[in-house]
Amino acid sequence: MYKNYMYRLYPSRSQKKRLEAILETCRRFYNDLLAERRDTWTNERRSVSKIEQLRRVKELKASNPYAKDIHSHVLQVVVTDLDKAFQAFFRRVRRGENPGYPRFKGKNRFSSFGLKEYGNGFKIDGRRLRLHGVGRVAVRWHRPLPSTPKAVRIIRKSDGWYAMFTCEVEPQVLPPTGREVGIDVGVASLATTSDGEKFANPKWYRAGQKKLRRLQRSLSRKQVGGKNREKARQAVARHHLHVSRQRQDALNKIIHKLIQEYDFIAVEDLNIRGMVKNRRLSKSIMDAGWGYFKERLFSKAAEAGRIVVEVNPANTSQACSSCGQLFPEKINLSVRTVRCSCGLELDRDVNAAINILRLGRSRWALTSAAAGVAQEAAGL
């Protein structure tokens, strides 16, 4: 399996200029490729393929002096990135959602480029990272790489430059614990388990939100195009980064605990959830970074040999986890404890988490039964 490892880079002044220049050329190329796809569709009702656009790399290098010194792989990765954006767009269209068309990238909206073959465009050279067209860049190796990287992505964040290496690693399967859990994600707590454990929103959360609002107000008062506005914009971006790192840290701790303790984890399918539940809730899920949560949970689970199942969240908070009846009145966010005629009296989030676990179990039983049938049919 593949895992990503991120390290901070310390480019010199001239290396920074080169990195910025590469990023800018990539951004323009990305926008040109996007325009080609859009215009071809408008004029000819035809989709431009990735293969077709990969041919543009050679043309660009021959015609554009800025692109001449950029490694072809970097430009090929731009083509691939755009293709991925389109694949995701088509996938959401097929699922009946209402996705936004891939967007043109403004100056501050394009933040990384990639290389895909070790020794061809990038290489670790002593303590430094040698990058084609940039030179030997200083790296802070806060932990060793597990193996020779397959690929690297150079990323610009509001507080500096980073290298994200993709390495192949052996999965570290954890011993089974015989325990299962359902997770309800919420507003009052970050997450609640079917065992009754609550993960609180960290204390810094409110303070961070307050400071963010203050910085945003200050930004909106600055004159457009001015130097102070750029400074204020950077301050907002840095604070966003700070808050999102704190949040990821809190979520990583939850994920670590879940993976250590449970063999089987059922969570709500948050794609469906956004449609089912109210907007205020979906916004707070966005705030809390649940996209990140899910992605990390799945990758950590795969690594540890744990099972994660997603379930449809409809009615998980509206039904009794003991007898299955729907509660007579709608359970909104102000109701903290649910009561049922069968005698159940329980915290609303714990009740929902138990329902999620039950749905997860039956979903898993169905999919593994289907897999069994498929194996039989194949004579395995």
CA–CA separation, 236 and 215 (whole Å): 6
* Residue 301 within binding range of Zn ion, rule CB under 5 A: no
To Zn ion, the closest distance from the beta carbon of 321 in angstroms equals 8
* Residue 281 within binding range of Zn ion, rule CB under 5 A: no
* Residue 320 within binding range of Zn ion, rule CB under 5 A: yes
Q: How many residues bind Zn ion (CB under 5 A)?
A: 6
Nearer Cβ to Zn ion (342/365): 342
CA–CA separation, 29 and 49 (whole Å): 16
To Zn ion, the closest distance from the beta carbon of 294 in angstroms equals 30
Instruction: Tell me which stretch binds Zn ion (CB under 5 A): 76-84, 125-133, 267-275, 316-324.
Output: 316-324
Using the rule CB under 5 A, which residue among 35, 173, 275, 323 binds Zn ion? 323
Nearer Cβ to Zn ion (67/320): 320
Using the rule CB under 5 A, which residue among 6, 35, 207, 342 binds Zn ion? 342
Q: How far is CA 1 from CA 4, 295, 309, in A?
A: 10, 15, 20
Largest interatomic CA distance in the chain: 76
CB atoms closer than 10 angstroms to residue 148 = 12
Using the rule CB under 5 A, which residue among 167, 242, 322, 363 binds Zn ion? 322
Instruction: Tell me which stretch binds Zn ion (CB under 5 A): 34-42, 134-142, 307-315, 343-351.
Output: 343-351
Using the rule CB under 5 A, which residue among 340, 346, 350, 352 binds Zn ion? 340
Using the rule CB under 5 A, which residue among 237, 276, 307, 344 binds Zn ion? 344
Instruction: Using CB under 5 A, list all residues that contact Zn ion.
Output: 320, 322-323, 340, 342, 344
